[in-house]
Amino acid sequence: MTTLVSTTDTLTRDALAVLQPGFTGTTAPDWLLRRVGEGLASVGLFGRNITSPEQLSALTERLRSEREDVLVAIDEEGGDVTRLEVTHGSSFPGNFALGSVDDVDLTRAVAQELGRRLAECGVNLNWAPSADVNSNPGNPVIGVRSFGADTRLAARHTAAYIEGLQAAGVAACTKHFPGHGDTAVDSHLALPRIDVDLDTLHARELVPFRAAIAAGSKSVMSAHILLPALDPDRPATLSPQILTGLLRQELGYDGLIVTDAVEMDAIAGTYGIERGSVLALAAGADAICVGGGLADEETVLRLRDALVAAVRSGDLTEERLADAAARVRALASWTQRVRGDIRESGAAVQEGTAPGTGVSSDIGLVAARRAVRVTGSGDRLTGASYVASFSAVANIAVGDETPWGIAAELERILPGTGSDTYTDQSTAPADAILAAAGERRIVAVVRDEHRHAWMGAALDALLAARPDTIVVEMGLPQSDPRGSLHIATHGAARVCGLAAAEAITGTKA
């Protein structure tokens, strides 16, 4: 057992420092401010905490009145996963759209403008990008959050994204190490398992993470996945072989290691959040992400006390806890220093560009337009249409509170356009769509049709009755596009819907 040399106050402060909790509401609660004053070094924000840039700026300013160097983290991937614009959809296409364009300068520019907007609101740590190679098209949790299934493409865009984001003064958190792309299970709900050999892992999953390390990613997020080739017993988040042996020693990574949320069932349902957090730190993690589902003071105190108790019992060494806390504080210091450098350099603002970057302030729409692929010989829309959106339950990372689709844009461009949403619970959806559309041309909007048999069946019936139907795929497109026109957006961000509406009508917003 390690001999204790620290005071209880020091242990408590270090235990608080390694937590990245969330909270409810759009203002910082008193308990959170109190814990920040006591040593809590990070706070995680989610869509529930944000209503506008002005409100977010006031929130982060209040947090910094308690601790100037507090890390304010957010899960802002752009595309389908947005917290900054949760109520109306993202102004930036996601990774898959950027990968489909395959212009690393564009990816870098998108990430830099996204980072600038985050930094402007006081956010300095982004739990992004996803470096996962989406090798399994049936993956229920990654999909369009990945740059694609091509390993080298994913690697070069991961690096470009990190460079752009961190050029804006926001630390990147590359995820989900060592790679979540070949899973068929959502780790929010259970523990996924990837049964591939070491050669495959090194040739596929690990390549983008090597690129991320070379690009200087300030943090890396672990995945709650079991990889028997690396550790047959524990998921990556809790594995010394993976976090310390592979990431630290073999790959030479020296930045902050953050866990994915410990309240996800892959950890909470198997180990419990207290033991899971202790095991994660002992394995080599430096920061414990918690607060997407558990967002209260009791959770913070439970984890703080569990870490202190683990040091006292010898389950976690005092040195490991102190090292983890020091890494958190070092990242906080970097964010302060780099933001000061950016403000001081103050690049000239050009018309049509984002302040201090030289990047187009409309870069998200520019990128979304470039990502659209149109196939088929059908005519474009010139009059009122009927938009049928086929909606499945969104995975938890995406959430179901963010709107998606193209109905609103088409209704604006073509007055008289109607719309409705259909699910796997809809009775005879094709018949209902035909009745609702009447004489109007139909636009069927799907997301990952290949993963949902009911969508495919409904679309088959619809196309048989109305061959002039336009199909818009806002998820992973398949090899055989169908419809008189087929529009692939490579993501469901608001700007992807706008770009699709422009392509269908031949007009610009």
Indicate which residues carry an active-site annotation. Answer: 188, 260
Q: Please state, in angstroms and as integers, the Cα–Cα distance from residue 247 to each residue in 151, 242, 257, 379, 447, following that order.
A: 18, 6, 9, 53, 35
- In 188-249 the beta strands, taken as DSSP E runs, fall at 219-222
Q: Which residue matches tokens 């390694």?
A: 18
3-state DSSP helix/strand/coil % of the chain, to nearest 5: 45, 15, 45
Structure tokens given for 208: 């983008």
Q: Is the CB of residue 294 less than 8 Å from the CB of residue 251?
A: no
Dihedral sign (CA 134, 140, 142, 145): positive
Residue whose pair of structure tokens reads 């190490």 in the numeric block:
177
Give the SS3 label for residue 432: helix
Q: Which amino acid is at 109?
A: A
Cβ atoms of 42 and 73 closer than 8 Å: yes
- How crowded is residue 104: how many other Cβ atoms within 10 Å of its Cβ? 17
Q: Which of 70, 122, 330, 339 is nearest to 218 (CA)?
A: 330
Q: Which residues lie below 8 Å from residue 457, measured CB to CB, with a gap of 6+?
A: none
Calpha distance 23→234 (Å, rounded): 29
Q: Which two tokens stand for residue 218?
A: 């300030």
Do 133 and 123 contact (CB within 8 A), yes or no?
A: no
Q: What are the tokens at 148? A: 């694609």
- In total, the chain counts a number of residues equal to 509
The pairing of strands 373-375 and 485-488 is antiparallel
